[in-house]
Amino acid sequence: MSFYDFAPIAAALSGLHVLVEALISLLQPLWPQAAPTAAILLVTIAVRVAMIPLSIRAVRAERSRAELAPSVAELRRRYAGDAARLGRELAELYRRKGVSPAAGLLPLLAQAPVLSLLYGVFSRAVIAGSPNLLLTQQLLGMPFSGAILPGLLSGVLPWPAVLVSVAVLCAVALAAELARRPADSARSTAGSATPPPAARALAATLPFAGLVVAAFVPFAAALYLATSAVWGALERPVLTRLIAR
């Protein structure tokens, strides 16, 4: 029994499969060739809109950590020789001020279930007892069920498929870099008011880990990752300005 055979997961997988098929059918008269791609983009946008409250919480948590910079610096100075005591004092400070050190990771972690379901929708030959016709969809010759890196290394992809695959990977990488720079700047400005090292390392590597994931998951899931990453890179400065008002 695989992960996707558990009843709740199978139901969610079937629901997403039906949704994507319905969107393709709805969009087919408008964009016959682009309907599958448009369907994935619409799913991504719907997920990102639903996640806006988490994104707002992440931005607010970052601002709160910056405001705690002097207090955190004092604690680090006072307990420089006692790592265990410093950890407890920092945890208590964050708890007392209602700041979650890992709040910035919520938008990334919340997308894991969606990405997992997209992986299943575009990798399983049979869903809910019926043949999965979505496996035949493609964009410029790049199969939605194919992985980018193996496809590029195989040398059998047509040039349009190669170009669109490289474009998706570049979009993920660029969005990750755009997301990383403001975070690094905020940490520099805030001094020592940063999350614990483990959370900080995870926050720094997760965006670029998406690049590795995008290279090996089905192309439909990679397209979701690229669209979501670009959305996040554009959304962050907008929310930052709005919350600052």
Confidence of residue 201 (pLDDT cuts 50, 70, 90): low
pLDDT of 60-69, one tens digit each?
Answer: 877 777 777 7
- Which band of pLDDT confidence, cut at 50, 70 and 90, is reported for residue 192? very low
Which residue is listed with tokens 């809910």?
A: 128
The pTM assigned to this predicted structure is 0.82
Better-predicted residue by pLDDT, 89 or 131: 131
Which band of pLDDT confidence, cut at 50, 70 and 90, is reported for residue 126? very high
Per-residue pLDDT tens digits for 132-149:
999 999 999 999 999 999
Q: Express as a percent the part of the chain with pLDDT over 90.
A: 49
Q: What is the pLDDT of residues 34-73, one digit of tens each?
A: 999 999 999 999 999 999 998 888 888 777 777 777 888 8
pLDDT score at 33 = 86
The string over 5-24, giving b where at least 16 C-beta atoms fall within 10 Å of a residue's C-beta and e elsewhere, is: eeeebbebbbebbeebbebb
| pLDDT value at 211 more than 60 | yes
For residue 109, pLDDT over 60 is answered with: yes
Between residues 154 and 209, which one has the greater pLDDT?
Answer: 154
Give the per-residue pLDDT at 236.
Answer: 87
pLDDT beyond 70 at 231: yes
pLDDT of residue 22 exceeding 90: yes
Average pLDDT of the chain is 85
Structure tokens at 77: 């100075």
| Cα 180 from Cα 159, distance rounded (Å) | 31
At 67 the pLDDT is 77
Residue 138 in 3-state DSSP? strand
Q: What is the DSSP letter of 125?
A: S
Q: Is the pLDDT of residue 183 over 70?
A: no
In Å, how far are 82, 89, 92, 115, 168 from 85, measured between CA atoms? 5, 6, 11, 39, 46
Predicted confidence at residue 193, as pLDDT, reads 44
25 pLDDT more than 50: yes
For position 15, what pLDDT does the model report?
95
Q: For residues 17 and 233, which has the higher predicted lDDT (pLDDT)? A: 17
Please say if the pLDDT value at position 191 is more than 90: no
Q: Does residue 205 surpass a pLDDT of 80?
A: no
